[in-house]
Amino acid sequence: MLQVTAAAGDPREAAADLLAVPVFKGGIGGPGAAPVLAALGLDAFPVTPDFRGDIGQHLLVTAPGLTAKGVLLVGLGRMDATDPERLRRAAGVAARAARGVERVATTLAEVHANTDAIAAIAEGFQLGAHTDRRFKSADEDAPRLREVVVLVPSSRLTDARAAIEGAERYARATCLARDLVNTPPDRKRPPDLAAAVRRLLAGACDVTVRDEAALAQQGFGGLLAVGRGSSAPPRLVELRYRPPSPVGHVVLVGKGITFDSGGLSLKRGNHMDWMKADMAGAAAVAGVLSAVADLGVRVQVTGLLALAENLPGGDAQRPGDVVTIHGGTTVEVQDTDAEGRLVLADALDYAVGLKPDAIVDLATLTGGAITAVGQFAAAVMSNDDDLCEALRAAAAVAGESLWPLPLWPDLRRFLDTPVADLNNVGDGGGGSSIIGGLFLERFVGEVPWAHLDIAGPAWTPAELAAHYLPPGGTGYGVRTLLAWLERRAS
Ligand code: BES
Ligand code: MN
Ligand code: ZN
């Protein structure tokens, strides 16, 4: 992981490969940039017709007279905007532009030297610099960004260091989730993924894994039904964190389909490679549990990862099968591609038995969520307005977009079937994401619950990579949930 530190000092003397300085829309140098730009003779803007200081833009120039070898001008957009997300993105742009050098110093924090801003900058650099080279054989020795020095006024050094430490924990947890999502599906089949999580979270929380025999004995019919078509059996991973005298108990549930082919209701070939990311909900829950102890979260947190591989093997479940979910509810499987709700139903019913104060599930549940709220936002559905608002407030702090969808009671009847308690598709009334939410609602009883459909923001297609979102898994949800948990206890 990239190392981020805070230091005070003259940016013109910063010993770094690159000095990243902010420039506002219209080419006005930020406070930290002014002396640097003056030293470079660059006070006249725009420097090029294309670089206007817009958010997302950057321009690399040489640095005669400075200690740094080059200067990276980073667009910050409007001068009067102050939200930390803008700085997080600018830092991400800088990190991606600086991937081939080892050491960066930056004056980005001089725009707003408060702790939220400094944390956002550190987070943006760490998330933007994160790459996955595990499956590259040759470029071990290639130079890469290793260190970022955030220049701050000397009066802010202590605060800045604390802010950076917190940001680092958030970024590390996010990147743990990203790495799990990016792992090829042949290397994270449910037993492998359960073992990897056990190894990665050793020391952070207690880990128990239910294998297929335990799942059968305890009636987890949804997980077993979805896993039948694969030679690798399902797993339920339970992660337990319990601080001394906890302030309440929440259960986090993650959809963990390690590969979603659709099963016998096979998906068409396009974009099926994306479907290794169908465990992004489970990955996010693992990321959260990796960090709660270090952050000193005061809430008891249980994580449930519902892991199965949805393949059309010879023993695969069939459309028409009736599955008995944990707790006894029966479901007619009309489409084997609506598998996420089957494994989540098991986990949600089990979660209710733990008598928590709240349940939050994260799932790449429906393509319809991308249609409804777009690629970059998750949809939240909830039976509790306070919980929903608290999650949205936390998401705003984290820089993750979360938008509510209603659980319209009028749509419930589409989940009826003459054959069983529910069907798993709910066709006929539209609103596929809401239908998914209504299906899950049947398994949470009276417990305050929120469902985050993260089908869009869990994954960044290569052509959409930008700022602190490199191609691939994003770790969406980790930072929102950590912020929510930290605020919940305060
Ligand atoms: N994992 C998919 C949802 C998905 C699709 C996420 C595309 C991201 C991109 C899920 O298991 C699924 O197949 N959902 C179906 C449900 C339908 C069959 C009721 C869908 O959304 O089409
Ligand atoms: Mn599916
Ligand atoms: Zn799926």
What is the pLDDT at residue 442?
A: 98
Ligand 3 mean position, distance from CA 338 (Å) = 7
CATH number for the domain that contains residue 327? 3.40.630.10
| Confidence at 140, pLDDT banded by 50, 70, 90 | low
Same domain flag for 240 and 141: no
Q: Is the CB of 236 under 6 A from ligand 1?
A: no
Contacts with 342 (C-beta within 8 Å, 6 or more apart), sequence order: 222, 223, 225, 226, 323, 325, 331, 333, 424
E strands along 242-340, which residues?
A: 249-260, 300-310, 322-324, 330-332
Same domain flag for 119 and 202: no
Q: Is the CB of 453 under 6 A from ligand 1?
A: no
Host domain of residue 138:
3-172
Same domain flag for 257 and 116: no
Write the Ramachandran bin of 92: left for phi over 0, alpha for psi from -120 to 50, otherwise beta.
alpha
Q: Is the CB of 425 under 6 A from ligand 1?
A: yes
User: Within a domain: residue 299?
Assistant: yes
Whose atoms come closest to the Cα of 425: which ligand?
1
Q: Which of 150, 172, 194 is the last residue of a domain?
A: 172
Ligand 1 mean position, distance from CA 460 (Å) = 17
> Tokens 């309440």 identify what position?
248
Same domain flag for 243 and 160: no
Q: Is the CB of 335 under 6 A from ligand 1?
A: yes
What is the pLDDT at residue 110?
A: 79
Q: Which of 172, 198, 228 is the last residue of a domain?
A: 172
Q: Is the CB of 340 under 6 A from ligand 1?
A: yes
Q: The tokens of 7 are what?
A: 């230091």
Ligand 1 pocket test: which of 366, 423, 425 has the largest number of ligand atoms within 8 Å of its C-beta?
Answer: 366
Same domain flag for 211 and 250: yes
Same domain flag for 158 and 294: no
Ligand 1 pocket test: which of 278, 317, 337, 453 has the largest number of ligand atoms within 8 Å of its C-beta?
Answer: 337
pLDDT in tens, 44-75: 555 677 888 899 999 998 888 899 999 999 99
Same domain flag for 166 and 196: no
Kindly state the average pLDDT of the residues 80-101. Answer: 92
User: Within a domain: residue 178?
Assistant: no
CATH number for the domain that contains residue 95? 3.40.220.10
User: Within a domain: residue 177?
Assistant: no
pTM for this entry: 0.97
Same domain flag for 43 and 187: no
Domain count, the chain: 2
What is the pLDDT at residue 205?
A: 98
pLDDT in tens, 309-344: 999 999 999 999 999 999 999 999 999 999 999 999
User: DSSP assignment of 101-156, as one string?
Assistant: SSEEEE-GGGS--SHHHHHHHHHHHHHHH----TT-SS-TTS----EEEEE--GGG
